[in-house]
Structure 1
Amino acid sequence: MKILKGIVFSINSNKTVVIKVFIFFFIYKKRFFKFKKYLANDEFNICLKNEIVFIVQVKPYSKKKFWKILKIL
């Protein structure tokens, strides 16, 4: 069971949000980052844009949606 921390990037449709997760890494003492977007299930439509959330991996809700909102900070 994976748990990731990210920012709500957009609110697509009913019960679906896009979460942007940043990954930081170092190459030759320089700090770089990349990000990946995940579709997550928001059961009660309570997420707002730019909120920090924790998402957890669950069984698939649809073809691309494998994540569920665990906690909103």
Structure 2
Amino acid sequence: MSETVKAPRTVTGKVISSKMDKTITVLVERLVSHPVYGKYVRKTSKLMAHDENNECQEGDVVVVSSTRPLSKRKVWKLDRIIERAK
């Protein structure tokens, strides 16, 4: 049997909470076309991500990638920090 290994999915978002130990909350925004009116609507998702070294702060722009389930809601891990908060 050959196992297929999927590449991890990556998304970019803004850290909105870093109060937990080794966990950050990332807000991801995307534009979705409305099915009837065709207008683009902004949709948001809150993701829990694993931050091993507690290096993120609120306001940072980060890239997170999918991983195996680490807890009930945490299936993403911090990939890299794009921009630090001012």
Normalising by structure 1, what TM-score?
0.91
Query: Higher relative contact order at CA 8 Å, sep ≥6: structure 1 or structure 2?
Result: 1
Between structure 1 and structure 2, the one with the greater Rg is 2
Residue correspondence of structure 1 range 1-73 to structure 2 within 5 A: 1-27=8-34, 28=37, 30-73=39-82
Tell me by how many angstroms 1:30 deviates: 2.9
Q: Percent identity, aligned pairs only?
A: 32
Which of the two has greater strand per residue? 1
Tell me by how many angstroms 1:11 deviates: 1.3
Quote the Cα distance in structure 2 between the aligned partners of 1:61 and 1:47.
18
One-letter amino acid of the structure 2 residue matched with residue 6 of structure 1: G
Structure 2: 5+ residue stretches without partners: 1-7
Q: Which runs of 4+ in 1 moved over 6 A?
A: none
Quote the Cα distance in structure 2 between the aligned partners of 1:30 and 1:21.
20
2:4 match? none
Report the RMSD for the aligned CA atoms in angstroms. Answer: 1.2
